[in-house]
Amino acid sequence: MASLLDLETEETVLHAHFAWLVEAFEWLAAIIDLAAIVLLLIGAIRFICGVTMAEIARRGAERVKRTNRERIELGRYILAGLELFIVSDVIHTALSLRFSDLLFLLLLVIIRSITSFFLDRELDQLKKELGDD
């Protein structure tokens, strides 16, 4: 009788007969991870530039309004990045076929979904304050 640990180290048909395909999907997942990181960095740079410009050029309520618009844009980038990370994690889990990876994916998706939910709520609140659609 095999233990759970033995099952986790057992080679699957996918890995045994289609190693090249597994490798290709691992590369694809890595590219998606890099795309998510680049997306987050672009959002952060745009946010920093936008808030800096708002601080320099604006005063009072207009400065706050411009900063809130930049926060909405940053939130959009963060949500898109989180979605890409989830796609990558699903690919990794599908390739590993280990129960521990499935549990890890479940926890990641729960944490990211909660983060996305509250971030989306905050963005909606900011949009209502700004009077945007």
Whether residue 76 lies inside any domain: the answer is yes
Domain of residue 71, residue span: 26-130
User: Please, what's the b/e burial string for 78-89 (b: 16 or more CB within 10 A of its CB; e: otherwise)?
Assistant: bbebbebbbbbb
Whether residue 47 lies inside any domain: the answer is yes
- 88/9: higher pLDDT: 88
Domain count, the chain: 1
Whether residue 75 lies inside any domain: the answer is yes
| pLDDT confidence tier of residue 41, bands split at 50, 70 and 90 | very high
CA-CA distance, 126 to 41, in Å (whole number)?
22
pLDDT tens across 47-57, in order? 999 999 988 88
Whether residue 16 lies inside any domain: the answer is no
> Given a cut of 60, is residue 132 above it in pLDDT?
no
Specify the pLDDT at position 10: 52
Whether residue 4 lies inside any domain: the answer is no
